[in-house]
Structure 1
Amino acid sequence: MTIQDIQSGTDRGVPATIARAGLTIASWPYGLAIRHRNRSYDRGSRDVAQAGVPVICIGNLTTGGTGKTPIVCHLAKWLREKNIRVSIVSRGYRSNESGTNDEAMELADRLPDVPHVQNVDRVEAARIAVEELETEVILMDDGFQHRRLHRDLDIVVIDAMCPFGYGSLLPRGLLREPISGLARASAVIITRTDHADEASLQRIESTIATYANASVPVLRTQHAASHLLTYPDQITALETIANKRVVALSAIGNPKAFEDTLRACGATVTDQLRFPDHHDYARETVQKIQDFARSQGSTFDQFLCTHKDLVKLKCDRIGGKPLSSLQIDMQFVSDPTKLYELVSQCVQLSR
């Protein structure tokens, strides 16, 4: 029995039912606190800091991996192509001694010309980006609930595989705030739509329409594998993993989506090694992976991980087995014109 089995209701046994009741009670004070906080900002009774440049927030309603990073990368590249100086600002959850975390390392790898300022105080991070880095536009990663910094656009990301956090606030479900928070959204992006059927997607869009402003664009996207990356910078075509026996290695919020993508690329996933999101791959963990590889012998051909894992592992083999990451990019299924128009209008504020 896992916490996900309890939260999702998959486990209907007596212990799980009792645990759900306890989590429901625990969610009540959290719900009261978050609603009070949101009302305070809605009424203007809490101070909101201005960055002095346009701020575009890419956030979500739930915990876990909704697929924000490919969207942040896409928008950052789009802005850089227009010669706009853009910086990313984030909290830096579970940063290491150097002050960076796995998401910062991945973004630095994918966006070498885009500064990333991590600070628990995102107002201070924005100040650094503007005053010291001469930033013209800030992308605030995972900041939808961080309302102390004014934003000009709020882009909310919803994962089609688990769109509304099992319908309950933390810790009973995965919602950071009530779904009614969508009323603050400037745009909504539904990710991994290729992992859901049309009926499910229409239900998600119907729920969004219930809470979001009628003028808010709702876009469908999917995460598409582009190539393999072997540390440090060797690029390999996806076709090389077709019919290969692989072990999926990940420490991300949604490992199932990653494993499904590997299968869609033609790989045979013989096993999965899943670690908690943002796991740091300490020496003990690497030793366990090495021991696993040696114990399995010739039953699989290689390890495949995500880019977020590769930037922490920093190697091309573990336990004698090759290691590569599957590179994922965002693709629009819907026409993105309205989103680009919103971003363009926002950027005009800095020109």
Structure 2
Amino acid sequence: MEALKRAVIRVAATPDGRLQELPFLQRSLLLPLLSFASSLFRLSVALRRRLYRFGLLPRHRLPVPVISVGNLTWGGNGKTPMVEFIARICVEAGIPPLILTRGYASGDEAKMLERHLSGTSARIGVGANRTAVAASIFERHGYVKFENTLYSKKLSNPHEFGSASENGKVGVAILDDGMQHWSMLCDVEIVMLNGLMPWGNNHLIPRGSLREPLGALSRADIIVVHHADLVSDGQLKVIKSKMHTVDACHAVFFTRLAPSHFFEVKNQHSTLPLSVVLNRVVLCVSAIGFPNAFVQAVGKIGPLLVDRLDFGDHHSIQLNDIEMIKERLGKLKDRFNTEVVAVVTEKDYDRDALILREIHNFDVLVLCSSFQIMPSYGQGEDTFRRKLKELIISKFGG
């Protein structure tokens, strides 16, 4: 089953111009099946969208503004860092946010958000029925009625109001992975794109990684191109041009994850400088949606060599995986006769913190990064905050 899953992922990542690189059986058997399944998926998405549009399936409105953060393709789009970034904007403005997330698979994203936002006014609701989850939290903690003037002042001048809030009552909801969650009405639609593969291979799931056709971008209020620091200026211009062809002429921002420090898996309160991996061989171990960006980021820090071991997105590390990791680390040490260190992402840590401690005799570090809006084309963090405020007030308060 794992071999089939890997084969499907490989086909879904292969553009039409490189199909000859696939093994014969994948080209002759798996590719036609996935292409047919993608056609069915396209029909199901279109039908489901129409059922919601014409009111045949119910849509629910929350009593507070809802900011949706979603993506067009699966994995590696910076969705979770953006959710945290918006939550911190709200916290700083004294508007307690409620993050609504499915808690997909092992719940690594929700766990990371809880760890990062611990001690703030942010609340996190986990569950597939996010309307019911929100209702439960509103019942326990209450919510603040929207007031145009107050919201405008708080979002515009967060330092004037500080982090004070009305007894912790929820003031705004952030819908994680909300682009295709049509059962909840949203006031602001933010769509994240992976700058390294913004459209995947231009095919829908499962032949590709697109969750909707490109035309869906026209629904976005804000489009964010993530990993923009790993993409050339020329390619960024191509991405922007593509947006115009699908009538996605909205506010566009560019973001990156800037490595800041490491901490040890055995001690999450430790802080190690990035230079700790200089002149060392690094094995990047990850189970995330787009490991290429993680590997590139580690490589830019300047280790002697970077090797990688990728597992499927949200994969929970098992004991046999630990043995595989230890074996790879041992081979690297023997080959290069130098210190070897394993590096994982924060998501991997929050999913598998305990079992990762079973990697004995080798250092296992967690890479921490800060989410940053790059000041490209005059669209920096201040512009993003201003645009977000304008959208909330005009759409929810208008």
Judge same fold: TM > 0.5, yes or no: yes
Of 19, 26, 40, the match for 1:29 = 40
Asked if the contact 1:244–1:267 (Cα under 8 Å) also holds between the matched residues in 2, the reply is: yes
Aligned-residue offset at 1:311 = 1.8
Matched, 1:327 2:368: yes
> Larger Cα Rg: Structure 1 or Structure 2?
2
Asked if the contact 1:62–1:164 (Cα under 8 Å) also holds between the matched residues in 2, the reply is: yes
Asked if the contact 1:184–1:212 (Cα under 8 Å) also holds between the matched residues in 2, the reply is: no
Matched, 1:254 2:260: no
Matched, 1:243 2:287: no
- Opposite residue 385 of structure 2, the aligned amino acid is Y
- Opposite residue 389 of structure 2, the aligned amino acid is S
TM-score normalised by the chain length of structure 1: 0.91
Number of residues of Structure 1 aligned to a counterpart in Structure 2: 344
Aligned-residue offset at 1:273 = 1.5
Matched, 1:308 2:347: yes
Tell me how far apart the structure 2 counterparts of residues 132 and 187 of structure 1 sit (CA, whole Å).
32
Aligned-residue offset at 1:54 = 0.7
TM-score normalised by the chain length of structure 2: 0.81
Of 211, 224, 249, the match for 1:176 = 211
Matches within 5 A, 1:98-109: 101-109=107-115
Match of 2:149 in 1: none
- Opposite residue 325 of structure 1, the aligned amino acid is V
Matches within 5 A, 1:1-351: 2-7=7-12, 8-9=14-15, 10-12=18-20, 13=22, 14-18=24-28, 19-95=30-106, 101-112=107-118, 113=120, 114-133=122-141, 134-214=169-249, 216-230=250-264, 231-297=267-333, 299=336, 300-314=339-353, 318-333=359-374, 334=376, 335-336=379-380, 337-348=382-393
- Opposite residue 17 of structure 1, the aligned amino acid is R
Q: Any idea what the Cα deviations from partners look like across 1:233-272, whole Å, max 9, x if unmatched?
A: 1111112222221111111011111001001111234421
Aligned residue for 2:255, secondary structure, equals: strand
Aligned-residue offset at 1:93 = 1.1
- Opposite residue 259 of structure 2, the aligned amino acid is A
Please provide the CA RMSD for this pair.
2.1
Aligned-residue offset at 1:338 = 4.0
- Opposite residue 93 of structure 1, the aligned amino acid is Y
- Opposite residue 62 of structure 2, the aligned amino acid is A
Aligned residue for 1:218, secondary structure, equals: strand
Q: Any idea what the Cα deviations from partners look like across 1:291-323, whole Å, max 9, x if unmatched?
A: 443454454421111001112332567231111
Asked if the contact 2:284–2:342 (Cα under 8 Å) also holds between the matched residues in 1, the reply is: yes
Tell me how far apart the structure 2 counterparts of residues 168 and 342 of structure 1 sit (CA, whole Å).
32
Q: Which runs of no fewer than 5 residues in structure 2 stay unpaired?
A: 1-5, 142-168
Tell me how far apart the structure 2 counterparts of residues 178 and 152 of structure 1 sit (CA, whole Å).
22
Asked if the contact 2:283–2:329 (Cα under 8 Å) also holds between the matched residues in 1, the reply is: no
Asked if the contact 1:54–1:346 (Cα under 8 Å) also holds between the matched residues in 2, the reply is: no
Match of 1:98 in 2: none
Q: Any idea what the Cα deviations from partners look like across 1:207-245, whole Å, max 9, x if unmatched?
A: 21222443x201111221111122321111112222221
Aligned residue for 2:62, secondary structure, equals: coil
Q: Which runs of no fewer than 5 residues in structure 1 stay unpaired?
A: 96-100
Aligned residue for 2:201, secondary structure, equals: helix
